[in-house]
Amino acid sequence: MVLAAGLGTRLRPLTLDRPKPLVAVAGRPLITYNLCLLRRYGVRDVIINLHHRGEVLRAALGDGSAWGLRIQYSPEDPLLETGGAIKNVEDALASEEDFLVLNGDTIIDLPLDCLIAAHRARAATATLVLRRDPAEERYGVVEIDASERIRRFLGRPDTTTVPLTPYMFAGVHVLSRQVFRYMPERRAFSMTRETYPAMLAAGEPLYGFPFGGYWRVIDTVEDLARATADLEAAPRLHHLRPPPPRLTDSSNVG
């Protein structure tokens, strides 16, 4: 699932006539960086949630065939936040034991195969991609022990008995269906503020996946300029840039 329903208020006026995931970064729509990342690692079925200018995003991506994917859409009105958005597609994920969730406003050079392998090797209920960042307090601190098991979320619980290392959540996670047991029905809620702390308190196996590669969230015009400069100037990042879509009769790309 790619979360793409945000309002993009800090990128206005660029997002007045389009959703943030369609803002161009180095000449390509932002969301297509994640779509091509998924395609590169063998993912074919994708769910995208919609809200602000959702019809524009649907028209641009169509059924996904132009990107080598099969895309389903999950419209939201009102917005459901991260947890509500995932809970809203539970039925669509009924046949999946594990599934990926990515933020649609982030560009990341992440080895998804290694992430999924780590999740399954640990029999984790959830595995969160983590990174060190000077602004980790702003984004919310996630702390792991020496085995990379998550022991504190946003300062909860108050105390622990083992040394911990602080990270920030990078917006990519692998989840098992067990997470739905910790999700309320039919309302907006946050994974990091509600679901994950509840799972931690219940003793569910939650793990971090520390990652030191390229990551950039596009929240502001300044973020957009930095990401464009990164992708245009650094040869090591050129593989991240999505190719043009393959126009087909079954796709609706425009």
What CATH number corresponds to the domain at position 180? 3.90.550.10
Note the pLDDT of residue 86: 95
Same domain, 132 and 48: no
Note the pLDDT of residue 133: 85
**Quick check: 103 and 171 in contact, CB under 8 A?**
yes
Note the pLDDT of residue 254: 29
Note the pLDDT of residue 246: 66
* Cβ partners under 8 Å of residue 162, min gap 6: 145, 146, 151
Among 179, 208, 213, 1, CA closest to 103 = 1
User: E strands along 104-222, which residues?
Assistant: 106-108, 126-131, 141-144, 150-153, 165-176, 206-210, 215-217
Q: Is residue 238 part of a domain?
A: no
Residue 219 lies in domain:
1-105+214-233
Which backbone phi and psi does 32 adopt, to 5 degrees? -70, -20
Note the pLDDT of residue 15: 77
The list of the chain residues with pLDDT below 70 reads 246-254
Domain count, the chain: 2
Same domain, 219 and 101: yes
Same domain, 97 and 219: yes
Same domain, 123 and 207: yes
Q: Is residue 250 part of a domain?
A: no
Which backbone phi and psi does 61 adopt, to 5 degrees? -100, -20
Same domain, 2 and 80: yes
Q: Is residue 229 part of a domain?
A: yes
pTM of the predicted model as reported, rounded to 2 decimal places: 0.90
Interatomic CA distance for residues 226 and 212, integer angstroms: 18
Q: Is 236 buried (19+), middle (13-18) or exposed (0-12) by CB count in 10 A?
A: exposed
Note the pLDDT of residue 252: 39
